[in-house]
Structure 1
Amino acid sequence: MLYQLCAIITAISAAVSLGFAIAAYRQSKASYAADGLNARYALARSGALAIATLGLLIFRSPEYLAAIAVAMTCVQLFDAMIGQHVSKFKTYGPLIAGLANATILALYLMQ
Structure 2
Amino acid sequence: MADKDLQKLIGEELKDEIYRITELAIAEKFKEYEKRISDLEMLKAELIETQNELKADMAELKRLMDKQKAGSAEQLVEINKRLAEINGQLKSVSKIISEKLEKKRGKK
Name the TM-score, length of structure 2 as normaliser: 0.27
TM-score (norm 1): 0.27
Q: Which has the higher helix share?
A: 2
Of the two, which has the highest radius of gyration? Answer: 2
